[in-house]
Structure 1
């Protein structure tokens, strides 16, 4: 094929693409696309459930295998700017209150040592758990609960750890295991942390067993009585003892 033939072939392809683009643009003008928010035909007694776009996105790609899931997600994403957010006559839906935080002592009292042992297996690449165990990339964790930070004489700590004071209390271990990089900035421990409080409690409960004299768990916090129940409301006076109403 010489240069002239290639030029004609390229011009033909360009012309076809241009023609298709013009036809699609003209069709959009003549027949504008409308997004159907409700089924065209409603079966009596059957209500079409509303499509939860965020749920479809969260379940990606598993949700696409459900009947109509792929088509619904594709249609919603391609027409997302045309979707009207439904408004309830009763106002916005109520936001669920956040779950109350459970204190560490309560979590430790209910902790599963065996689950903590299994979770802590990831630590064995850098630490040992046995009494008299050797230091590895990290120090031995035998007796870590209650031990002073950077107290292992056989291990060379980083400068940021050597500058730490105090001991490994249960609360301190919980903060450290949540996010080691944030608890001790600049330390060399390549561990992202445990995000679930229950997982941390299980691991800490397991670490507490690595001692000849385990440190007792802290006591659970007592629920605080509301201040309004401790003192009378403003403007009201309690009758003196012995008075009649």
Structure 2
């Protein structure tokens, strides 16, 4: 940055103000420590300016007239020296800041890498532990499935054999039952025929007995009538005889 010398000479106050503005503008891009140093330099310059202002404050009216007298080439050279020093300080601060930034970035990168490595190691351990547990569980499950499958196969084969035996027994029982059923039906038909014949014979015998009984009753009735006539006939011949001497049953 190049600074042109003003064609118009500066008063001591204006020169000090100008240097303060330059210090303020340059201090914006510096680190905190360098800013503090610049502020101290600026404060010392302001104090010196206050002393000089005290000397010229009695004659403010003639300040314009004394501007040419107050112009000091050494002060301008000092300002340039200060500016050059500030440039050097700023460059050094930038380099130091860049170096610190690089160190900070390197430190942060190292910490991040360490954190990533730790996390990766932790995740890898957890993953290996999970894989071991999963493998163990899978083997146990596979072993259990094989055992249960073998038991099921044996039970299935046993059931199949027993099923065949039971089915054969069922078929034998059903066949035997069918034979017995046919025999019972035949026997039932024969029994039914015998019962019909027996009932028919019994009916005929009953009819014969009923007819004989009716005939006997009719004959007895006729005999009773004949006996009554005979009794009456005999009663007429016997004087002492009466109906009481000859009961009906006799």
TM-score in terms of structure 2 length: 0.16
Larger Rg: 2
Higher helix share goes to which structure?
Answer: 2
